[in-house]
Structure 1
Amino acid sequence: MQKTILITGASSGMGKAATILFAQHGWTVFAGARRTQLIPTGENIHPLALDVTDHASNSAFVAQAMTGQTRLDVLLNNAGYGEFGPLEEVPLKAARQQLETNLLGAADLTQLVLPLMRRQGFGRIINNSSIGGDMYSPLGGWYYVSKHALNVWSDTLDTEIRQFGLRSIVVEPGGTESNWSTIAMQHAQANLHPDSPYQALTTGFLTVFERFLGTSSATSADLAAVFYQAATAKRPHRRYFNACSDRLVARFARVHPEMFAQLMAWASRLALGVAKYARAK
């Protein structure tokens, strides 16, 4: 039978690429996003309106997708963004929105689909996290909190649903060519207070961050292929990475926390030095 997947955040980046890839492989794809006009069109793709921070929207999304469907193979919790900025100055309203989008939206949708998956005896929850789920850096505090939490939530869920033949899996992208970084950097600037003491750190860090991402070779299509691997592997792993370098960074941060903390302190000094150099020019 034709397999079915629900994909959130399908209007751009990895979600859009995944929508195209799964449809090309013959899956029935129900692609959700707030901007439905940006969701890809084509055979096997069904665009649906979705705001993952709204329970009514999540319920309607699942109900519409499952109308007339006899199976659900995968829920891909992809929707997310980066609420960057110094922790002293990021409004808690923005922090709550970050958690609602990156964590609680995935949890809500998962609760909605698990009864069906349990009844049919198969299914996978794939959660698009980040190597930020194992590490941290200046200015990304609330984003990293949301991804750390998503990882722990997914791992806990996996221990609970394996008994039913189900799996919960985490994918941890590293630097990826998408509009994610642009949006994250816009938030970092917007969250700065007037005459903020973190202006130099933010300016320098954004410069370093953009240069780092500019060297990234990963594309949204690369990550879509990782999602597909996680969805179709006979014996899926608990974690998936696109590149060995992503896996190494995540492992280094977990296994050597003191050394990683020193590295981030150095990164902060580097960012301040870059900002100072830019002012001198």
Structure 2
Amino acid sequence: MAKTVLITGASSGIGRATARAFLHEDWTVYATARDPEDITDLAERGAETAALDVTDETQIRSVVDRMDEEQGRIDCLVNNAGYGQFGPVEDVPTDLLHEQMDVNLYGPHRLIRAVLPYMREREDGRIVNVSSVAGRFATPGMGVYSASKFGLEALTDALRNEVEPHGIEAVLVEPGPVETNFADRADDRLDLLDRSGAYETLYKLYEDGQTFGGSSPVAVRPADVAEVILEAGVTPDPEARYPVGAFADLSLKARYLPDRVRDSVFALLGRLL
């Protein structure tokens, strides 16, 4: 019987490419999105599709129960749904911080709790959490987004050791910039902020270039990330973490610089801008 995978955020970008990658390997794919009409093409390719908002416990339970009833197994969960709330920490109101956490951190937690009883019963399963290089290296203007991804990294590190005795693995995939509409949505979220006037250098950085997606010269393709997610989902002995792209590798190495050195670099960039 074909193995099964549940993928969140499959309407575009990484999620859509991941669904296609698993379909190509003849997995039974349950591709989900807030609006199922956004993934009708995946249904035409053979995927099972469903409405799933990661902040909605009822929808999560419905999809997971459906997989169990129709397939009798849940082999892999790919927690991909997410977005970026950028902006200086002071300028981001607490309600927007909560929304960021609700999707990027609480959402994966809800899905994990929903699938684990089924995986534990079979003593087999794989959870792939799509994090970001920003989950290990925080930069000015990305504190809220990074906080959500730092949280996901910590959650996964703990989970990996908790579920190992039950035959289940938990893995992180950490892309750098990706050629998706991620930056466009992040720009839209920036418009929700009431700017204090104290951080115009950071806003200028957003306006002058796209660091985390779109046309960034260091961005990788969604298909490149999908191939890594596929590897993380199917390889018999997965790594704990999979950085994706040269930018991600370089950024993760920069974590080892002393804090004072990194702070000096950020200060220099601010003066240059």
CA distance in structure 2 between the partners assigned to 1:211 and 1:166 by the alignment? 32
Shift of 1:254: 4.4
Partner of 1:120: 122
Distance 2:235 2:128 in 1: 12
Q: CA deviation at 1:210?
A: 4.7
- Cα separation, 2, equivalents of 1:89 and 1:243: 31
Distance, in Å, in 2 between the alignment partners of 1:267 and 1:16 is: 36
For the residues of structure 1 that align with 2:87 and 2:158, how far apart are their CA atoms? Answer: 29
Query: SS where residue 226 of structure 1 aligns?
Result: helix
5+ residue gaps, structure 1, are: 274-281
Please give the alpha-carbon distance, in whole angstroms, between the structure 2 residues aligned to 1:53 and 1:268: 37
Q: Extract unaligned runs of 5+ from structure 2.
A: none
Q: Offset at 1:29?
A: 0.6
Quote how far apart the aligned CAs of 1:185 are.
2.1
Give the CA deviation at 1:181. Answer: 1.1
Could you state the TM-score of these two structures normalised by the residue count of structure 1?
A: 0.90
**CA apart distance, 1:258:** 3.1
Q: What is the rounded CA distance, in whole Å, between the counterparts of 2:211 and 2:133 in structure 1?
A: 17
Aligned to 2:80: 78
Shift of 1:211: 9.3
* Contact 2:209–2:216 (Cα < 8 Å) also in 1: no
1:225-236 equivalence runs, <5 A: 225-236=227-238
Structure 2 match to 1:279:
none
Name the residue aligned to 1:241.
243
Deviations 1:203-252 (A, max 9, x none): 23431445985202411010000000001111100000222441231132
**2:135 touches 2:150 (CA, 8 Å); kept in 1?**
yes
- The 1:58–1:266 alpha-carbon spacing in structure 2 relative to 1, beyond 3 Å, is farther
**Partner of residue 43, structure 2:** 41
8 Å contact kept, 1:192–1:199: no
Aligned-partner SS, 1:138: coil
The number of aligned residues is 270
Conserved? CA contact 2:67–2:73, under 8 Å: no
1:165 to 167, 178, 189: 167
Query: Aligned equivalents of 1:35 and 1:44: distance in 2?
Result: 18
In 2 relative to 1, CA 177–118 (structure 1 residues): closer, same or farther, beyond 3 Å? same
SS of alignment partner, residue 44 of structure 2: coil
Determine what percentage of the aligned residue pairs are the same residue: 34
Distance 1:199 1:252 in 2: 25
8 A contact 2:182–2:212 mirrored in 1: no
Q: 1:149 to 1:254 in 2, by over 3 A?
A: farther
The residue aligned with 1:101 is 103
Corresponding position of 2:205? 204
Matching of residues 124-139 of structure 1 within 5 Å: 124-139=126-141
Q: C-alpha distance in 1, partners of 2:194/2:134?
A: 22
Relative to structure 1, the CA distance from residue 22 to residue 230 in structure 2 (aligned partners, 3 Å threshold; closer, same or farther) is: same
Runs of 4+ in 1 over 6 A off after TM superposition: none
The residue aligned with 2:11 is 11
> CA contact under 8 A between 1:84 and 1:142: conserved in structure 2?
yes
For 1:88 and 1:211, how far apart are their aligned partners in 2?
21
The whole-number CA distance in structure 2 between the counterparts of 1:44 and 1:72 is: 17
Which amino acid in structure 2 is aligned with residue 35 of structure 1? D
Mean Cα deviation higher: 231-240 or 54-63: 54-63
Question: TM-score under structure 2 normalisation?
Answer: 0.93
Q: Which residue of 1 aligns with 2:142?
A: 140
Check whether the contact 2:170–2:240 (CA below 8 A) recurs between aligned residues: yes
Instruction: Report the alpha carbon displacement of residue 106 of structure 1 after superposing the two structures with TM.
Output: 0.3
> SS of 1:17's equivalent?
helix
Going from structure 1 to structure 2, the CA distance change for 1:250 and 1:161 (only over 3 Å counts) comes to same
**Residue 90 of structure 1: CA displacement?**
1.0
Distance 2:165 2:138 in 1: 34
1:46-105 per-position Cα deviation (integer Å, ceiling 9, x unaligned):
110011012112111212222221221100000000011121121111110100100011
1:28 aligns with 2:28: yes
Match of 1:225, SS?
helix
